[in-house]
């Protein structure tokens, strides 16, 4: 899996946060998913357009685990979601994407 790729939510998926879970529905197949815990966090970070490089260190701080461990878990989750069709590898990361400022 290339780190230069950005994984985005598949266009047919809609989602909503409901208390402590993220509910996903594929509008085409009507299949649904309920994400909790770290999976819900990952979905949330993907949904705002963060790249792999940005998500891993952030996740490491959120769940207080070493980056290497987070990297492995994150990759597994992404592979599973790619198989299920709820994410897609869509484009390359842009230069400077790690800069989280917004043009101050």
Partner 1 sequence: MSVPRESETNIFAIPILDKFLLYAPLHNLAALLDQTATRLLRDSLLSGETVAEECLGEISLALNEDAEPTPSPIQGDFVPSFLGLLPTRGCNLACRYCGFLTAEESARVMSLEMAQNAVNWYMDELELAGVSHAEVHYFGGEPFCAEQVLDLTVHLARIRAEEIGCSLRFEVATNGVFDEERCHWAADNIDTIVLSLDGPADIHDFHRPCKDGQGSYKTVEHNARILSQGSADLFLRACVTSQTVGRMPEIATWFCEGFHPKGVCFEPLQPSTQSRIGQLEPPDPWDFARNFVKAAWILESYGVEPVYAAGDIHARQVSFCPVGKDAAIVSPDGTISACYLLRRDWEAKGLDLRLGRLEDGSVQLRADAVDSARSLNVHNKPSCAHCFCKWHCAGGCHVNHTLPDPPDIYDRLCIQTRIIGLRNVLKEMGQDYLVPEWLQDREAVERSVYQASDLLLDLGEIQ
Of positions 2, 48, 68, 94, contacts partner 1 by CB under 8 A: 48
Q: Which of 34, 9, 10 is nearest to 23 (CA)?
A: 34
- Decide: is 94 part of the binding site for partner 1 (CB under 8 A): no
- Decide: is 63 part of the binding site for partner 1 (CB under 8 A): yes
Of positions 6, 13, 54, 78, contacts partner 1 by CB under 8 A: 54
Question: Is residue 6 within 8 Å of residue 51, measured between CB atoms?
Answer: yes
Of positions 44, 53, 73, 75, contacts partner 1 by CB under 8 A: 44
For residues 73 and 42, what is the distance between their CA atoms, to the nearest angstrom?
Answer: 10
């Amino acid at each position: 899996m290339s780190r230069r790729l950005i994984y985005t939510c598949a266009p047919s998926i809609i989602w909503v946060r409901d208390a402590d879970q993220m509910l996903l529905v594929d509008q085409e197949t009507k299949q649904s998913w309920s994400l909790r815990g770290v999976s819900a966090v990952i979905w949330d970070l993907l949904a705002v357009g963060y790249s792999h490089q940005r998500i891993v260190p952030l996740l490491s701080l959120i769940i207080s685990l070493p980056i290497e461990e987070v990297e492995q878990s994150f990759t597994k989750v992404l592979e599973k979601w790619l198989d299920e069709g709820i994410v897609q590898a869509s484009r390359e990361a842009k230069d400077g994407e790690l800069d989280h400022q917004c043009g101050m």
